[in-house]
Structure 1
Amino acid sequence: MSRGTTAAGRGGAEDRGRVHEIDALRGFALFGILLVNAQLMAGPYTAFGGGPDASAVDRASAWAVTATTTVYQLFSFLFGYSFVLQRRAAREAGAAFPTQHLRRTAGLFGLGLAHAVLLYPGDILMTYAALALVLYGLRDLAPRTAVRVAVCLVAGLAVLLLGYGLLTVALTEPVTPARYAPEAAHTVAAYRGGFPSVIGAHLRELPASLGANLMYTPDMLAAFLAGLAAAGTGLVERRGRDRVWLRRTAVRWLPVGLAGGTVTACCANGPLDSRWFLVGHAVSLLTAPALTVSYACGVLLLAGAMRPAAGVLAASGRMALSHYLAQSLVLACVFTGYGFGLYDRVGTAVVLAGCVVLYGLQLALGARLMNRVRYGPAELVLRTVTLARCPGRAPACPGSHPAGAEPRPVP
């Protein structure tokens, strides 16, 4: 795929300036996010393969997802990359990027807050919105400097988690799932209840979820900065169709990433007990970038070899925010009292199989929808907030954009 070629067959001036390889990567990352979030929304033990009496298939399924999934790093990297593209598009359109960025950040935070309260307290959008303000302050960092800061952030957090994790292993006793049974039973009852009960459960879990996100903000910001540096050098545009480079990079880093993922899975999903959880995540911080790079190169190789498949991925990537929110809506209807109330009633393997079906439907819907409209529903809302007007209407202040035209869509 190349710049100026639409992802789903919709041509026109509005598509100039998009980097469709970025859209394809974002569309791919949606699947990994779905795999992780579905387990967390399906029950208190689903992400760990189920409770004490879970089947071997469920345990193996959860273990495999932990060992191979690093999607939030990829999504964070793409967020930083897109920030540079947004800034560039605003400059070329003669728009005030600081004002637009502030409005966009506020809109993203508002969507995240609604998402956390109504659908899923593990929302990441509010954290992204807060870090977007930090990213703006670091926007003029040279690529090399941005990479150095990113490395320091990841290494520092990994050292802290590793130290605390090793102390936990040395000074505490293993905790069995049975100790959490009363608390888990209360959570299960709340999620199977009606609308007020589900909202109450979300509000109770929200502080802990925000705290967990806060702990990993250095890693997210590091990925933002890596994306900032990559976009500053035009990495995806330069290397996105270089099949030799992509293949060599993927082969070089995939073993490192899988080795780290294996250690992380052993610590989080067994055979090591729960005391090793933070040790595993410290290892993941250091090795997940290698796995992320390998996946990204693999997707870009696929994009070059199978243009129709790449177009479908890119179409979904263009409405990634809508897909992210839609995933939570569907999962909430399946697992909570909003709908079927299957919370803690479905095994991990079945949950993951359902994710494959849901993702396939999203890809089909994304390709169909983006062939007819410029924005997904959530993207339209966010863009309206960003521009302080409906997209497509002339700006209120004549001359604020060339020939009174709307700036081209934010990539």
Structure 2
Amino acid sequence: MDTQGGPTGLRERALGPDLARGFMLLFIALANSHYFVVGAAYFGGFPTGGSPLDRILGTLISTLVDGRAFPMFGVLFGYGVAQIVRRQRAGPDQFGGADERGIRRLLWRRSLVLVVLGFAHAMLLYIGDILAAYGVLLFLGVWALRWKDRWLFAVAAFVLILTALPSDDTLAASAEGPDPSMLPAGFLGQLAERITVQPFIAGLAWIGFVTPFLIGLWAGRRRILERPAEHLTLLRTTALLGLTIAVAGALPMSLVVGGVLTRPSDHALTILGPLHDAAGVFGGLGYAALLVLVAHRVGERPITRAIAAVGQRSLTCYLFQSVVWAVVFTPYLLDLSNTLTTTTTAILAVATWCATVLLADRMRRANYRGPFEVLIRRVTYRSPARFTSG
């Protein structure tokens, strides 16, 4: 078993957070895949003019997934950081645990791994990488570890308000399809295109994850997702209100994706786009709370253990998805961006996630960690991390 102060052993992990991480990978697959589809015109990242089923699925994904999956990632990321800090402070040390400087250095090593891995991921597989952005967020976020709760909430609310302000970014993005960095004509061109785009994404995308990260940090301090029986009212309220706000905030945009409403004016889009994304933060909180409640209610069963195994190996499974996107959509490989539709890419996303569930469960049964989990632990803790969970 892992010594206290090191990485959490797989047998020690709570079901709720891992189940949430496992389902999160399904949402991320659905959120990423449709951006590869090529069409004559676009709205909200979806090609317009598809079949009725394309429009229905586009509406559902825009309402329930887009801008909701990555905030859930942020909540769980912040929660995981709080878990690391708690274990370090309680670790075997003559003063009762690691000092704050040692904890910061440990987390900075973890952030460096994420930035380097994210850069390689973006250059070789998927330009929409978020690992590097989370690495930047963690590098800066270590200073929030000493903040009191009221400061966590105050900064989280301030950043959320900023991201909800009217912006022209959504206006431009709503009409754009895949750019050359996403669907490069050749490998050398891919590197040339992405080397200029990736630093921009890594350097700015973390701002949108600040609010869920800080809320996750607060929740992790209180072990809310690990001890749901002690926080049922909070979790139920968060699930209900969070998902209600997320759906209500998404409908003005998602109904346009589905062809139910006509495209709003440019001025309206500068308001509705940020509203869609800001409401998604509440959706991320709601999904995390809902899935922890499901884990609490259902408990350990073969299906929950298999999905939780994905959550325990979320980095490996996330990168596995990108391998699929690269093989299927890259023009110099299978080049199916002009062939697949919103519907068929959604099917591909679900099938890819199901494959990761089978793979992760097989690794769980064999008592193996994911290879990238081993890598990040080895660098973070500066020790020879084991492939097994013992």
Name the TM-score class by shorter chain.
0.7 to 0.9
Once residues 115 and 47 of structure 1 are traced to their aligned partners in structure 2, the CA distance between those partners, rounded to angstroms, is 27
Please, what is the CA RMSD of the aligned residues?
3.4
Post-superposition CA distance 1:231-282 (Å, at most 9, x none): 1222223435765664454334433221112124246676324834442232
CA distance in 2, matches of 1:289, 1:27: 19
* Residue 263 (1) aligns with residue 263 (2): no
Deviations 1:23-46 (A, max 9, x none): 111111111111111112344767
Determine which of 113, 118, 122 is the counterpart of 1:116: 122
Alignment-derived partner of residue 87 in structure 1? 85
Q: Map 1:30-109; keep pairs closer than 5 Å.
A: 30-43=25-38, 48=44, 51=47, 53-69=49-65, 70-94=68-92, 96-109=102-115
SS at match of 1:262: helix
Residue 49 (structure 1) shift: 7.1
**Which is worse superposed, 277-286 or 328-337?**
277-286
Aligned partners of 1:46 and 1:347 also within 8 Å: no
Take 1:339 and 1:274, find their aligned partners in 2: how far apart are those partners? 39
Supply the distance in 2 between the matched residues of 1:128 and 1:152 (Cα, whole angstroms): 19
Question: Contact 1:63 / 1:265 at 8 angstroms: preserved in 2?
Answer: yes
Task: Assess, with a 3 A threshold, how the Cα gap between structure 1 residues 139 and 372 changes in structure 2: closer, same or farther.
Answer: same
Cα distance in 1, alignment partners of residues 386 and 208 from structure 2:
37
Equivalent pair of 1:49/1:348 in contact (CA under 8 Å)? no
Aligned counterpart, 1:397: none
**Contact map agreement 2:34 2:46 (CA 8 A) in 1:** no
Corresponding residue number in structure 2 for 1:25: 20
**Alignment correspondent of 2:5:** none
Q: Is the 8 A contact 1:112 1:123 kept in 2?
A: yes
Change (3 A) 1:340 1:231: same
Q: Distance in 1 between matches of 2:282 and 2:156?
A: 14
What displacement does 1:115 show?
0.4
Distance of 2:12 and 2:30 partners within structure 1: 31
How far, CA to CA, are the matches of 1:143 and 1:39 in structure 2?
A: 38
Structure 1 stretch 104-113 or stretch 227-236: which is displaced more? Answer: 227-236
Relative to structure 1, is the Cα distance of residues 64 and 141 closer, same or farther in structure 2, using a 3 angstrom cutoff?
A: same
Higher mean C-alpha deviation, range 35-44 or range 323-332: 35-44
Per-residue deviation, residues 34-75 of structure 1 (Å, max 9, x unmatched)? 111111234476775754543332233222211111011010
Consecutive unaligned residues of structure 2, counting only runs of 5 or more, are 3-7, 93-97
Q: Is 1:187 equivalent to 2:176 in the alignment?
A: no
Q: Distance in 1 between matches of 2:15 and 2:151?
A: 27
Alpha-carbon distance in structure 1 between the residues aligned to 2:270 and 2:200: 16
What are the residue-to-residue correspondences of 1:272-283 with 2, within 5 Å? 272-273=263-264, 275=266, 276-283=268-275
* Farther-moved stretch of structure 1 (131-140 vs 384-393): 384-393
Give the structure-2-normalised TM-score. 0.82
Aligned residue identity for 2:83: L
Distance 1:46 1:123, change over 3 A: farther
8 Å Cα contact 1:61/1:348 also seen in 2? yes
Could you tell me which residue of structure 1 aligns to residue 191 of structure 2? Answer: 199
Report the CA distance shift for 1:89/1:33 in structure 2 as closer, same or farther (over 3 A).
Answer: same
The match for 1:295 is 287
Which amino acid is the alignment partner of residue 79 of structure 1?
Answer: F
Residue equivalent to 2:348 = 354
CA separation in 2, counterparts of 1:326 and 1:203?
Answer: 22
Q: Name the aligned partner's letter for residue 87 of structure 1.
A: V
Match of 2:132 in 1: 126
Indicate the SS of the match to 1:346. Answer: coil
Query: Residue 277 and residue 201 in structure 1: after superposition, are their counterparts in 2 closer, same or farther (change >3 A)?
Result: farther
CA–CA distance in structure 2, aligned partners of residues 273 and 203 of structure 1 = 35
User: Aligned to 2:360, which of 345, 362, 366?
Assistant: 366
Q: Does the aligned pair in 2 maintain the 1:334–1:341 contact within 8 Å?
A: yes
Residues 113-122 or 87-96, more deviating: 87-96
Hey, what's the Cα distance between the residues in 1 that align with 2:42 and 2:356?
23
Task: Describe the shift of the 1:382–1:56 C-alpha distance in structure 2 as closer, same or farther (beyond 3 A).
Answer: same
Summarize the Cα distance change of 1:196–1:208 in structure 2 as closer, same or farther, 3 Å threshold. Answer: same
In the alignment, is the contact (CA less than 8 A) between 2:42 and 2:48 conserved in 1? no
Is the 8 Å Cα contact of residues 49 and 60 (structure 1) preserved in structure 2?
Answer: no
Q: Distance in 2 between matches of 1:89 and 1:101?
A: 13
Identity rate, percent:
25
Distance 1:299 1:200, change over 3 A: same
Alignment partner, residue 138 of structure 1: 144
Instruction: Judge conservation of contact 1:240–1:300 (CA < 8 Å) in 2.
Output: no
1:250 aligns with 2:239: yes
Matches of 2:116 and 2:373, distance apart in 1: 13
Cα 1:36–1:349, aligned 2, differ >3 Å: closer, same or farther? same
Alignment of 1:382 onto 2:376 = yes
Counterpart in 2 of 1:335?
329
Q: Aligned in 2, Cα 1:301/1:175: closer, same or farther, shift over 3 Å?
A: closer
Question: Runs of 5+ in structure 1 lacking a partner?
Answer: 5-12, 394-407
**2:156 alignment counterpart:** 150
Alpha-carbon deviation of 1:350? 0.5
**Contact 2:79–2:219 (Cα < 8 Å) also in 1:** yes
Give the equivalent residue in structure 2 for 1:237: 226
